[in-house]
Structure 1
Amino acid sequence: MSDLSDYVLIVDDEEMIAMAFKYQIEDLGYAVCGTAASADEAVAMACLHRPKVVLMDMRLRGEKDGVDASLDIHERVGSRVIFVTGSKEPATVTRIQLDHPRAILFKPVSYRKLESAIQEAMLD
């Protein structure tokens, strides 16, 4: 597996949320390689750009969810995934834990929590 780039890929099916995360991440000094709204789009972008960190929403467009995308990205690319979800339901959290996420952030995500999670994921 080749080296990962110091990019962040944002995966969220809501364009306004994805853009808000993009501006926040760029404000922190990190490059965003793109945004994706579906699992298949996320996997394709991850394979192309090889981001070090993926900010992954749980619910995405299409049949697959964020865990499906994350597992595929982890296997193919090895990116570190930070999950973002609006649900604290045990079933959702348990499903997210299948992929050993770097962090789980619950919406609404504060700037400081996002900053901390991204910085920690970039250090490893």
Structure 2
Amino acid sequence: MNSPRTTLYRDKHNGKLMGVCAGIADYTGVNVFWIRMIAFLSMWPTGGASLLIYFVAGFLLNKKPPYLYRDESEQKYWQGVRQSPKRTAREIRANFRDIDRRLAAVEAHYVSSNPRLTAEIERLR
């Protein structure tokens, strides 16, 4: 996926230090508090290596563009795409099937209540 919405960024706007945890939270859809807790608690088992990884990520990751998403629903959509692209594609197909079904129902209702239109369609067949 080449979309800038599927890239991991550091989020300086919502970040505390370099914005790495906020960027991971935005990317995964997990609350930033839990990402920060995991990062903080991982310093002891890793002997401080996670702190080094944090700073390396802070220097390597690009800053999040200011207007990456139009609104909250678009942000949630792209988080879903990053988490499970196949599930998102299934949901989109299901939405289109639902729209098609509702459109067919509207069309059937309109055609059945309009005898002139029904006659015109039959004449064209």
TM-score tier, shorter chain, comes to under 0.3
**Greater relative contact order (Cα 8 A, min sep 6): structure 1 or 2?**
1
Task: Give the helix-richer structure, 1 or 2.
Answer: 2
Task: Give the strand-richer structure, 1 or 2.
Answer: 1
For normalisation by structure 1, the TM-score amounts to: 0.23
